[in-house]
Amino acid sequence: MRVLKFGGTSVADAAAMERLVAIVGTRTGPRTVVVSALASVTDRLLGIGELALRDRAAARAGLDALVARHLEVASALGGNGAAAVEPMLRGIARGAERTVDTIADTRAVTAPLLDKLVAAGELWSSRLVAAFLAEAGLRAQWIDARHVVRTDGHHRQAAPDLEATEEAVRRHVRPALALERIVVTGGFIGSGPDGATTTLGRGGSDYSAAILGASLLADEIEIWTDVDGVYSADPRFVPDARVLPAISYEDAEILATFGAKVLHPKTIEPAAALDIPVRVLNSRRPSQPGTRIDNAGSTGGAAVAARGSVTLVQVTARGRRPDRGFAARALQALADAHVGMLVGEVYKGKLTVAVDHSVDVETLRARVADFADLETREGLSAVCVVGDRLARDPRLVTQAFAALGPRHVHLVGRPGGATSALAVVVEDRDVQDLLARLHEACAGGTPVAHEAVA
């Protein structure tokens, strides 16, 4: 059993659809295909949601343009393929129009309405993919992901309800696979306990693939994207980045958490829990070996990643002698406020953590109010080096520090206590340069000499 996930650029147009069909056709045995919305469609739909508040006609025109784009892709289908899929695409659009009208009528663009609206992207793309597979003679069965990926109902950032999802997979997906159908479904979307559409967070189709892979006890999860695999740095920003043949679950998760967009960070956990290998592959160059992520995976080197929108939170115990339980209380307050920590440190009466900017600081402040003060600093970035080379070769840590040079570093730490990772919180303006330097020092060619750091 294999799950194949195709990202937005891997389903962007008819040519991409043909490549997808060829890839799925080279695989044998039971297959489940999970697809993202066509490239940029989710962004457009979110824009349309906002636009609906101000200008209903413009929002509807935006939807019409999206329908036209999907019909254009469908027009490449031979026979009556296009005619057969068109009513489905238009039906999805009608649902989106109703949501636009609700936003315009109520003058409120709520999270449940946005979830409903953006779901059109994955519904359209998955219908198209099923049609292209069927046209190629592959027996495909489209399944509405909202019937299968069951969640806690938290809009725009839902967590899967794995038990309910497994049950839904048993009811809807397994019977289709037993009939030797290739199951096709949309990533990113699901539904909450009340049946309302929810989404798993931006980039969440990877996570959908992992959730379905785990529910189906897949042998492998393939993430088909627009680059040759997981690189030692984002190849868009670090031109001499190299493809990593393999990487461990833990390192891949850290890299993704620190901004390597190639994989949604939550993808790893469901796969790692069942030891299901994840392979990252290029849909434009399917003969490339890609990157294998598993328990044994060793980067054989190191990789770097960076993310913006980081807030530093400092919790300081009140009074001269902090109570011995300060760290435990402060950490408990973070957990109670559902604050996900990127990296942090504690020393006596002071806890400093780097968190995502979306954290509700006031809730956190209220939770520590009776024993500590809380200060924040926003608009920072975090840069991370990760890889087994870092754990094996202590010189690399020295080189990493040398690469930091005279920049202002707000926090240094080992995410998750991993000896294979080192993270720093820095000013936004330093990120690009630092990324290149850290890559050169730890993941690339020659080490950076102390005096070479300007």
Among 15-23, 201-209, 286-294, 429-437, which window interacts with ligand ASP (CB under 6 A)? 201-209
Among 17-25, 202-210, 382-390, 403-411, which window interacts with ligand ASP (CB under 6 A)? 202-210
- We find the least distance from the C-beta atom of residue 261 to ligand ASP, in angstroms, to be 10
- We find the least distance from the C-beta atom of residue 206 to Mg ion, in angstroms, to be 6
Give the angle subtended at the CA of 425 by the CAs of 296 and 301, to the nearest 5°: 30
Among 68-76, 87-95, 258-266, 365-373, which window interacts with ligand ADP (CB under 6 A)? 258-266
Binder to ligand ADP among 236, 348, 392, 429 (CB under 6 A)? 236
Considering the rule CB under 6 A, would residue 30 count as an interface residue with ligand ASP?
no
- By beta-carbon proximity to ligand ASP, the closer residue of 119 and 404 is 119
Considering the rule CB under 6 A, would residue 230 count as an interface residue with ligand ADP?
yes
Considering the rule CB under 5 A, would residue 203 count as an interface residue with Mg ion?
yes
Binder to ligand ASP among 62, 160, 204, 259 (CB under 6 A)? 204
Sole residue written with tokens 């959908």: 208
Return the HEC string of the chain: CEEEEECHHHHCCHHHHHHHHHHHHHCCCCEEEEECCCCCHHHHHHHHHHHHHHCHHHHHHHHHHHHHHHHHHHCCCCCCHHHHHHHHHHHHHHHHHHHHHHHHHHCCCCHHHHHHHHHHHHHHHHHHHHHHHHHCCCCEEECCHHHCCEECCCCCCCCECHHHHHHHHHHHHHHHHHCCCEEEEECCEEECCCCCEEECCCCCHHHHHHHHHHHCCCCEEEEEECCCCCECCCCCCCCCCCECCEEEHHHHHHHHHCCCCCCCHHHHHHHHHCCCCEEEEECCCCCCCCEEEECCCCCCCCEEEEEEEEEEEEEEECCCCCCCCHHHHHHHHHHHCCCCEEEEEEECCEEEEEEECCCCHHHHHHHHCCCEEEEEEEEEEEEEEECHHHHHCCHHHHHHHHHHCCCCEEEEECHHHCCCEEEEEEEHHHHHHHHHHHHHHHHCCCCCCHHHCC
- By beta-carbon proximity to ligand ASP, the closer residue of 207 and 371 is 207
Considering the rule CB under 6 A, would residue 126 count as an interface residue with ligand ADP?
no
Binding mask 57-96 for ligand ADP (x = CB under 6 A): ----------------------------------------
226 binds, among ligand ADP, Mg ion, ligand ASP, none (CB under 5 to 8 A by kind): ligand ADP
Binder to ligand ASP among 27, 202, 407, 410 (CB under 6 A)? 202
- By beta-carbon proximity to ligand ASP, the closer residue of 203 and 349 is 203
- Restricting to residues 179-218, name those near ligand ADP by CB under 6 A: 203
234 binds, among Mg ion, ligand ASP, ligand ADP, none (CB under 5 to 8 A by kind): ligand ADP
262 binds, among Mg ion, ligand ADP, ligand ASP, none (CB under 5 to 8 A by kind): ligand ADP
Considering the rule CB under 6 A, would residue 42 count as an interface residue with ligand ASP?
yes
Among 93-101, 136-144, 200-208, 440-448, which window interacts with ligand ASP (CB under 6 A)? 200-208
133 binds, among Mg ion, ligand ASP, ligand ADP, none (CB under 5 to 8 A by kind): none
- We find the least distance from the C-beta atom of residue 37 to ligand ASP, in angstroms, to be 4
Q: Are 150 and 160 in contact (CB under 8 A)?
A: yes
- We find the least distance from the C-beta atom of residue 262 to Mg ion, in angstroms, to be 7
CB-based burial label for 358 (10 Å; 0-12, 13-18, 19+): exposed
Interface with ligand ASP (CB under 6 A): 7-8, 36-37, 42, 121, 187-188, 202-205
Q: What is the binding site for Mg ion (CB under 5 A)?
A: 7, 203
